[in-house]
Amino acid sequence: MSAYLELCRQAKRHHNLRHLLTFAAIDRATVMPPKGGEARAEAMAELEGMLHRESRDPAMADLLRAAEAEPLDAAERANLREIQRGHRLALAVPDSLVESRVRATARCEAGWQLQRPANDWQGFLENFREVVRLARSEARHLADASGLAPYDAMLDLYEPGVRSAELDLLFGDLRGWLPGLVQKVRDRQSSERVLAPAGPFTAEAQRALNRAVMERLGFDFEAGRLDTAVHPFCGGVQDDIRVTTRYREADFLHSLYATIHETGHARYEQGLPREWPGQPIALPRSMGIHESQSLAFELQLGLRKSFVEFLAPLIASHFGPQDAFEPENLHRHLTRVAPDKIRVDADELCYPAHVMLRYTIERALIEGEIEPEDIPALWDEQMRDLLGVDTRGDYRDGCLQDTHWAEGVFGYFPCYTLGAIYAAQWFACIQREAPELDSRIVSGDFSAVVGWLDRAIWSQGSRWETRELVTRASGEPINPAHFRAHLEARYLG
Ligand SMILES: [Zn+2]
How far, in Å, CA of 423 to CA of 388, rounded?
27
Q: pLDDT tier at 248 (50, 70, 90 boundaries)? A: very high
Ligand 1 centre to CA of 354 (Å) is 15
Q: What is the pLDDT of residues 309-352, one digit of tens each?
A: 999 999 999 999 999 999 999 999 999 999 999 999 999 999 99
Q: What is the mean pLDDT of residues 433-444?
A: 96
Query: Looking at the predicted structure, is the pLDDT value of residue 265 above 90?
Result: yes
Ligand 1 centre to CA of 233 (Å) is 7
Q: Is the pTM of this model over 0.85?
A: yes
The answer to whether 483 and 420 are in contact (CB under 8 A) is yes
Ligand 1 centre to CA of 415 (Å) is 9
Q: pLDDT tier at 267 (50, 70, 90 boundaries)? A: very high
What pLDDT does 72 receive? 97
Q: What is the pLDDT of residues 58-106, one digit of tens each?
A: 999 999 999 999 999 999 999 999 999 999 999 999 988 988 888 899 8
What pLDDT does 45 receive? 85
How far, in Å, CA of 106 to CA of 115, rounded?
14
Q: What is the pLDDT of residues 5-20, one digit of tens each?
A: 999 999 999 999 999 9
End-to-end Cα, the chain, rounded Å? 62
What pLDDT does 305 receive? 97
How far, in Å, CA of 238 to CA of 224, rounded?
9
Q: pLDDT tier at 35 (50, 70, 90 boundaries)? A: confident
What pLDDT does 230 receive? 84
Q: What is the mean pLDDT of residues 140-157?
A: 97
What pLDDT does 34 receive? 81
Ligand 1 centre to CA of 26 (Å) is 16
Query: Looking at the predicted structure, is the pLDDT value of residue 148 above 90?
Result: yes
Ligand 1 centre to CA of 59 (Å) is 37
Ligand 1 centre to CA of 225 (Å) is 17
How far, in Å, CA of 138 to CA of 371, rounded?
17
Question: Which of 92-96, 282-286, 293-297, 313-317 has the weakest average pLDDT?
Answer: 92-96
Ligand 1 centre to CA of 60 (Å) is 34
The answer to whether 324 and 333 are in contact (CB under 8 A) is yes
CA distances from 256 to 21, 90, 197, 209, 315 (A): 28, 39, 13, 8, 10
Q: pLDDT tier at 110 (50, 70, 90 boundaries)? A: confident
Q: What is the mean pLDDT of residues 206-210?
A: 98
Q: Confirm whether 262 is a catalytic residue.
A: yes
What pLDDT does 102 receive? 84
Ligand 1 centre to CA of 294 (Å) is 6
In the DSSP assignment, the letter for residue 196 is P
Strands 224-228 and 240-245: parallel
> How crowded is residue 245: how many other Cβ atoms within 10 Å of its Cβ?
26
Q: What is the mean pLDDT of residues 222-239?
A: 93
Active-site entry in 262, 269, 348, 362: 262
Q: What is the pLDDT of residues 337-395, one digit of tens each?
A: 999 999 999 999 999 999 999 999 999 999 999 999 999 999 999 999 999 999 999 99
How far, in Å, CA of 337 to CA of 317, rounded?
28
Determine the Cα angle at 484 with ends 487 and 362, to 5°. 105
Q: pLDDT tier at 301 (50, 70, 90 boundaries)? A: very high
Query: Looking at the predicted structure, is the pLDDT value of residue 243 above 90?
Result: yes
User: Which amino acid is located at 150 in the chain?
Assistant: P
What pLDDT does 12 receive? 97
What pLDDT does 1 receive? 81
The 240-245 sheet, strands edge to edge:
224-228, 240-245, 234-237
